[in-house]
Structure 1
């Protein structure tokens, strides 16, 4: 009987070469690219809100005589989107394990697109008063639900179509959609700066309508996961995957949650908060800040894929330990480098924070998180762990503002390192899922298959 806890059907235990070919399905590349494009679009929409919150929304929706209050309210609205992501992950994960990965992919993308275009059409505080902030918050909630449902479906589709030896590489390609979305979002904001007024932030959100149309067409052509199809054909689909994974696999949910916090909450400090920090301290103007972030995002597309591919060679855990160790060490140096105010130093700071501290961890998560859970509850388990951490990261900028007000830049620096330490400890206690034993078993299966082919 197939051991569904393995990163692939257990070799020698009834694995079907038709359902689970060692080299992946014929659609493996198309699925990986399609999932990556969808992730790009949703990140453009979701992360674009973070950029706008840091640079514009405190003035447009929450004006106050006290700049700190406006910034706090802006970040609080940003955090609400993260806070509801676990609910989106629960719903999307449940549906992904019950009716399939593909319907969740299409539905989440459509929902995100509608919400994002609405942001570009919202009235400001000057037009409707406090209702502006209320409307912004409501739309942000919809964004959070859509984004929460997105990740599990995209990663699982890629993972379950991918070759056994290259699941890290293929899920890394999907994860690379996030830095690409970040790049496009900030490019749009950079190019819209000359427009001035509210158009400087409205245009990037309105442009997402074009991206959404392209994404929907691509995702409709993506094939359903072969592993889910097999479960469905055999009548083995879980009746209540959420209940099952919480009862049987809650420890892996906790471990994955802590692993993820280091990456996503660390990003909230080293990127989201730093955008505001540079502005408040007058260390860089908006053009330099966005250029630095775009440079890091462009490199991050390659870095995320490369980190994922590296895990196929050395294992998931060693790469994660490396990334979290660097995160622990980078907290104080990050702000020392930023405080120089030198353009080159600021660009370098974003590159290290993003391509190493963030991309290194993100590149591992797609394969490692998927391998921690069984096929029956994989979407629910991976999505829940992944999105629960979003609550921490969503309100981290809000907390960091208080730390900065109380202790200066040292507070945010130490918090960043603390998140890294959380991830490091979690990596130590989480089982390795792709190591020498698994690679050796794949070698044996390939040799046996080749021998059988020659005999036939």
Structure 2
């Protein structure tokens, strides 16, 4: 790194806005996930009947999950576009723009006419808005994580990157809670209310995000001429291995969530309708637990490294694949709640808490948002088909088909982390700890304070 004035002012203790930035990023990711999860929940519970009423129940469910998957297909494009602009012109503008687009699209879903009112135009409008949602969500994640990571103290980047990741279960909990409430309402208000209420959350998050300062690492790269003219092309040609690693690492997390919270909810509703309130409540409770587990997992990676937590979580997912359905098929409320607590509150949360730093550290500053976003969103696009694939497999083979799908995703994740080298090993942790101690005692030199962790500098 340069030892210019800009670089020299960088601190291993992070920027003065580090906490505000992480919290603001978390508020934004919570809103984004609220919006996206609201669609997934509505797809599982309502959209088959509302937008595809002329199909039988099974086909209607498949068509509803297909519109869910459309949004995921658009996410890699959103990640590519958002990553390009974030690495080229700055992280903050992308975060604000993505929030506006996502919030508007979600609010409009709450105003859509039904198939009964306008015929085939209703599902067409739904798909168009869903595509816009996917673009915005794809652009959002990389910028939020990168901002939190780059503002953070070097020895606490796992924890700070986990703060916006904690916004994911917070948004999920809010969406699930609102759906649990709206389920008590009459008629179309059951599915419209959660989308319309999102406007309040969007306004709050937009105000907070608009007051953020730009990433100090991006400002340094820009000042020293180290940004890429085409960061997306540079990522695809120079960092493609990192993208593949991110895809493998992300697939297990994406499948772990959507196989549980979206498909399993539909599975329970179809076979045991009386348990739907229990399942919705369990998702809410599991998501609240996941807020803490996500944060703790990120903080723990700062102490022991990124790989151990991810390996443990992937192993848990492998062991949980078939028991998840065996417990659900018992139709006992306590066991159904246990399934969601383990699947979302422990396994999924441990993966997401580690991902913030782990995936970001696969790339250098100039291509960080592009690389992390593209890999993350390609995997999300694959994971978005989890409910559709699970429904099709259950239709063909019964519940073991869905369990096997979950197992395969977990095995891919385990293979991915075993093939990924540690980005925060013991030697690196000790080196950065010395820099932190020097700066705290006033003995750090500008050049030492400007040097990033070696694991990132070598990329």
User: What is the match of residue 84 of structure 2?
Assistant: 94
Q: Give 1:454 deviation, angstroms.
A: 10
Do structure 1's residue 277 and structure 2's residue 267 form an aligned pair? yes
Do structure 1's residue 107 and structure 2's residue 84 form an aligned pair? no
User: What is the match of residue 452 of structure 2?
Assistant: none
Q: 1:415 aligns with which of 388, 405, 416?
A: 405
Distance in structure 1 (CA, Å) of the matches to 2:425 and 2:346? 22
- What do the CA deviations read for 1:262-294 (whole angstroms, capped 9, x no partner)? 000221212211011001111643311110110
Distance in structure 2 (CA, Å) of the matches to 1:454 and 1:323? 38
Residues 1:87 and 1:450: Cα distance change in structure 2 (over 3 Å): closer
- What do the CA deviations read for 1:20-64 (whole angstroms, capped 9, x no partner)? 312111100000000000001111111100000000000000113
User: What is the match of residue 253 of structure 1?
Assistant: 243
Structure 2: gaps (5+ residues) = 446-459
Q: 1:345 aligns with which of 328, 335, 356?
A: 335
Q: Give 1:65 deviation, angstroms.
A: 4.7
Q: Give 1:398 deviation, angstroms.
A: 1.0
Do structure 1's residue 239 and structure 2's residue 238 form an aligned pair? no
User: What is the match of residue 9 of structure 1?
Assistant: none
User: What is the match of residue 136 of structure 1?
Assistant: 126
- What do the CA deviations read for 1:69-115 (whole angstroms, capped 9, x no partner)? 10000000000001100000000000000110000000000000110
Do structure 1's residue 200 and structure 2's residue 185 form an aligned pair? no
Q: Give 1:186 deviation, angstroms.
A: 1.1
User: What is the match of residue 212 of structure 2?
Assistant: 222
Residues 1:454 and 1:233: Cα distance change in structure 2 (over 3 Å): closer
Distance in structure 1 (CA, Å) of the matches to 2:5 and 2:239? 23
Do structure 1's residue 26 and structure 2's residue 16 form an aligned pair? yes
Q: Give 1:232 deviation, angstroms.
A: 1.3
Contact 1:261 1:423 in 2 (8 A): yes
Q: Specify the SS of the correspondent of 2:229.
A: coil
Q: Give 1:300 deviation, angstroms.
A: 0.7
Residues 1:118 and 1:357: Cα distance change in structure 2 (over 3 Å): same
Contact 1:312 1:434 in 2 (8 A): yes
Q: Specify the SS of the correspondent of 1:63.
A: coil
User: What is the match of residue 428 of structure 2?
Assistant: 438
Residues 1:265 and 1:217: Cα distance change in structure 2 (over 3 Å): same
Distance in structure 2 (CA, Å) of the matches to 1:146 and 1:95? 13
User: What is the match of residue 295 of structure 2?
Assistant: 305
Which deviates further from its counterpart, 264-273 or 310-319? Answer: 264-273
Distance in structure 2 (CA, Å) of the matches to 1:265 and 1:182? 15
User: What is the match of residue 148 of structure 2?
Assistant: 158
Contact 1:19 1:230 in 2 (8 A): no
User: What is the match of residue 177 of structure 2?
Assistant: 187
Q: 1:167 aligns with which of 148, 157, 173?
A: 157
User: What is the match of residue 453 of structure 2?
Assistant: none
Contact 1:148 1:387 in 2 (8 A): yes
Q: Give 1:19 deviation, angstroms.
A: 4.1
Q: 1:79 aligns with which of 64, 69, 72?
A: 69
Q: Specify the SS of the correspondent of 1:24.
A: coil
Contact 1:108 1:149 in 2 (8 A): yes
Structure 1: gaps (5+ residues) = 3-12
Q: Specify the SS of the correspondent of 1:195.
A: coil
Q: 1:369 aligns with which of 353, 359, 366?
A: 359
User: What is the match of residue 8 of structure 1?
Assistant: none
User: What is the match of residue 139 of structure 2?
Assistant: 149
User: What is the match of residue 31 of structure 2?
Assistant: 41
What is the TM-score normalised by the length of structure 2?
0.94
Which deviates further from its counterpart, 102-111 or 363-372? Answer: 363-372
Q: After the TM superposition, which residues 310-321 of structure 1 pair with which residues of structure 2 at under 5 Å, given as runs? A: 310-321=300-311
Q: Give 1:355 deviation, angstroms.
A: 1.8
Distance in structure 1 (CA, Å) of the matches to 2:337 and 2:10? 44
Contact 1:284 1:341 in 2 (8 A): no
User: What is the match of residue 400 of structure 1?
Assistant: 390
Residues 1:318 and 1:16: Cα distance change in structure 2 (over 3 Å): farther
- What do the CA deviations read for 1:135-191 (whole angstroms, capped 9, x no partner)? 000000000000000000100000000011111111111100010000111111111
Distance in structure 1 (CA, Å) of the matches to 2:74 and 2:383? 12
Distance in structure 2 (CA, Å) of the matches to 1:349 and 1:64? 33
* Pairs aligned (count): 445
